[in-house]
Amino acid sequence: MPTPVSNSSPPWRAGTGFDSHAFAPGIPLRLGGVTIAHTHGLAGHSDGDVLLHAVCDAILGALALGDIGALFPPGDAQWRNADSRVFVRRAYELMREAGWSVGNLDATLILEQPRLGPCRDSIRASLADLLSTGIEAISIKAKTPEGLNWPGTAVAQVTVLLYR
């Protein structure tokens, strides 16, 4: 006799996040909560931290709670120039309240400049701190947008695995 299929949810959930912002002069560049020396930053309603926006979306997606705009509408003046760590902290609170923890996070940043090798571990440490996990659970990859015709743009793609 076959084993009946359980209707309970699995002890894990995965979510993906994606975000993009254009570079602009006169703005500090923030990626993963870390300020990086560069001639341009990322324009956005908040601080433009494309990586943290994608992290927030990945967590909210795993929780089936929509995206960052559902919690922090871009038209809401209170989020103008906001530190994106606030967004991730709120997504993290919702995750913990629902009984989940971060298993691992895998992120890909796509941009021409700056080179992220020198600050990769700082970004990993920042994310590990925000998500109360070890740095070994955080992967950051950087790619150039060869052939994509994306000059002046930064893109982040994130996958997160949550577990009970």
Mean pLDDT per 10-residue interval, the chain, length 164 residues:
58 97 96 97 95 98 95 89 96 97 98 95 98 98 91 96 97
> For residue 127, what are the contacts with CB-CB under 8 A and spacing of at least 6?
32, 33, 51, 55, 105, 107, 138, 140
Q: What is the pLDDT of residue 50?
A: 98
Which two three-digit tokens encode residue 122? Answer: 């700082």
- What's the rounded Cα separation, in Å, for the pair 78 and 15? 27
**Comparing C-alpha atoms, which of 59, 39, 60, 29 is closest to residue 122?**
29
Q: What is the pLDDT of residue 147?
A: 87
Q: Whole-structure pTM over 0.85, yes or no?
A: yes
> For residue 76, what are the contacts with CB-CB under 8 A and spacing of at least 6?
none
With H, G, I as helix, E, B as strand and everything else as coil, classify residue 149: coil
The domains of the chain are located at 18-72+80-163
Is the distance from CB of 105 to CB of 127 less than 8 angstroms? Answer: yes
Question: In the CATH scheme, what is the homologous superfamily, with its name and number, of domain 18-72+80-163?
Answer: 2-C-methyl-D-erythritol 2,4-cyclodiphosphate synthase (3.30.1330.50)
> For residue 51, what are the contacts with CB-CB under 8 A and spacing of at least 6?
19, 31, 32, 107, 109, 123, 127, 156, 158
